[in-house]
């Protein structure tokens, strides 16, 4: 039986490295990204190493595109893991579907994608959902009843989206049978040499470019991908759910992850924003 994984944001950074490593481990890898040329390169790399892969293009700033991606993935006979890794850090305020773009792409898109693919994940049980979060979630602030932005700050927006990722992963785990589907959140460390900051402001892009070239500053893409592969593939974490990992180490997220009322309210508001019934799964 060949296991199948969808890795979003798999055409660059830790997503690409994780996709290639999972392919080398015998997974059929569904490679997601926005750029067809980069997607073809990842597929070629996996197949050249003896693996199996297919590319699926979708822009997470378009919820219809997310639904289209899910529809194509549902044509697969099985889906053993969903790695919600795609993310952005927007340097300027923009809106997607009436919502600030960083929150929309980093939280609402994977929320919707998981909703659309959960039936297939359950049919393929035991299956896993892995959400790439960030340690910056500790400084994030999210009010589900007021997602407006008065004064936009790129780091604050990113931190808010990453806190939403952690809240979503914990709430998803709480709603699922862990023998069927598990859900975990993952902090890869500060990975400056990645495509994450391509939409950030010029000072942020310049700073991350310099950080990527200074020894012992930040985490390499290879190190950052290690935890994604571990949470997706390792028997050591089979059945582990609702947990937050930094690298391979289970650690404690922000205390707000234990706030059930906050998690449930964000869940319900997110469902309304993407147009699904909040009473899922």
Both tokens assigned to 181: 């589907």
Q: Which residues contact 60 (CB under 8 A, 6 or more apart)?
A: 8, 66, 86, 104, 105, 109, 110
Rounded CA-CA distance 157/142 in Å is: 9
Both tokens assigned to 67: 């639904």
Residue 189 has pLDDT above 50, yes or no: yes
Q: Which residues contact 135 (CB under 8 A, 6 or more apart)?
A: 187, 189, 190, 246
Specify the pLDDT at position 194: 56
Specify the pLDDT at position 190: 75
Residue of 93, 138, 152, 158 with catalytic role: 158
Both tokens assigned to 263: 């998690």
Tell me what the mean pLDDT of segment 115-144 comes to: 98
Residue 208 has pLDDT above 90, yes or no: no
Q: What share of the chain has pLDDT > 70, as a percent?
A: 90
Tell me what the mean pLDDT of segment 166-194 comes to: 91
Rounded CA-CA distance 230/222 in Å is: 12
Domains and CATH numbers, the chain: 4-274 (3.40.50.720)
Least confident of 123-137, 147-161, 192-206: 192-206
- Establish how many alpha carbons lie within 13 A of residue 92's alpha carbon, considering only the half-sphere containing its beta carbon: 2
Q: Which residues contact 204 (CB under 8 A, 6 or more apart)?
A: 89, 91, 154, 197
Helix (H, G, I), strand (E, B) or coil at 33: strand
Give, to the nearest 10 degrees, the angle between helix 154-175 and helix 109-123. Answer: 20
Specify the pLDDT at position 214: 45
Higher pLDDT among residues 201 and 264, named by residue? 264
Residue 212 has pLDDT above 60, yes or no: no
Specify the pLDDT at position 230: 98
Quick check: is 158 catalytic?
A: yes
Residue 216 has pLDDT above 90, yes or no: no
Q: What is the pLDDT of residues 233-245, one digit of tens each?
A: 999 999 999 999 9
User: pLDDT-based confidence at 198, cuts 50/70/90?
Assistant: low
Specify the pLDDT at position 209: 43
Residue 193 has pLDDT above 60, yes or no: no
Least confident of 24-38, 147-161, 210-224: 210-224
Rounded CA-CA distance 180/169 in Å is: 15
End-to-end CA distance of the chain: 26
């Amino acid at each position: 039986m060949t296991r199948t994984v969808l890795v979003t944001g798999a055409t660059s950074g830790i997503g690409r490295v994780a996709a290639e490593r999972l392919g080398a481990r015998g997974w059929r890898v569904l490679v997601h990204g926005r750029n067809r040329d980069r997607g073809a390169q990842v597929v070629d790399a996996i197949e050249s190493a003896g693996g199996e892969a297919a590319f699926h293009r979708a822009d997470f700033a378009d919820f219809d595109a997310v639904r289209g991606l899910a529809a194509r993935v549902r044509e697969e006979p099985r889906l053993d893991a969903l790695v919600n890794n795609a993310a952005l850090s927007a340097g300027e305020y923009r809106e997607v579907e009436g919502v600030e773009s960083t929150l929309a792409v980093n939280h609402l898109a994977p929320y919707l994608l998981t909703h659309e693919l959960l039936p297939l994940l359950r049919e393929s049980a035991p299956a896993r959902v892995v959400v790439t979060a960030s340690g910056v979630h500790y400084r994030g602030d999210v009010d589900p009843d007021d997602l407006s932005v008065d004064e936009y700050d790129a780091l604050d927006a990113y931190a808010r989206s990453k806190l939403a990722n952690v809240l979503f992963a914990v709430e998803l785990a709480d709603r699922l049978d862990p023998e069927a589907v598990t859900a975990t959140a993952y902090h890869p460390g500060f990975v400056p040499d990645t495509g994450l900051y391509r939409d950030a402001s010029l000072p942020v892009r310049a700073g991350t470019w310099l950080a990527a070239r200074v020894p012992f500053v930040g985490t390499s893409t290879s190190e950052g991908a290690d935890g994604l592969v571990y949470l997706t593939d390792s028997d050591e974490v089979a059945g582990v759910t609702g947990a937050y990992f930094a690298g391979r180490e289970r650690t404690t997220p922000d205390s707000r992850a234990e706030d059930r009322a906050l998690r449930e309210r964000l869940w319900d508001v997110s469902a309304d924003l993407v147009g699904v019934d909040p009473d899922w799964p």
